[in-house]
Amino acid sequence: MRLAKKLEAVEYQGKQIKVISEDDVPSRMGTQSARVIALCKSIPKGGAISVTKDDIGMISASVYILVNKMKRKGELPKGFYCTTRTVNGKKIMYLVNSTKPSA
């Protein structure tokens, strides 16, 4: 039964808000963080990748927090880090699996 078809809109604070069917609410497609974790684990020792927010669907601050959490849990090596640089006006994230001890 699609009850929402009977209700076109509801009033809220003097504005008309459209009512949709619960069947039209998009379901969660899977977590972005799971994809980023898999991406980080696939970077070989001594390698790095450069990605943008649009490439991975997460802002750099979220990726930074995720990488640090994974390092604390031991899921990533201690030399793994991420850094952000602005190149030609665009923010680029670098995910680095460093072999250098000072990383």
Tens of pLDDT, residues 61-99: 999 999 999 999 999 998 999 999 999 999 999 999 998
State both tokens at 29.
């497609």
Could you tell me the pTM of the whole model?
A: 0.66
Query: Whose CA is closest to 49, among 11, 73, 81, 5?
Result: 81
pLDDT reported for residue 81: 93
User: Cβ of 78: how many Cβ atoms within 10 Å?
Assistant: 10
| Alpha carbon distance 67, 89 (integer Å) | 24
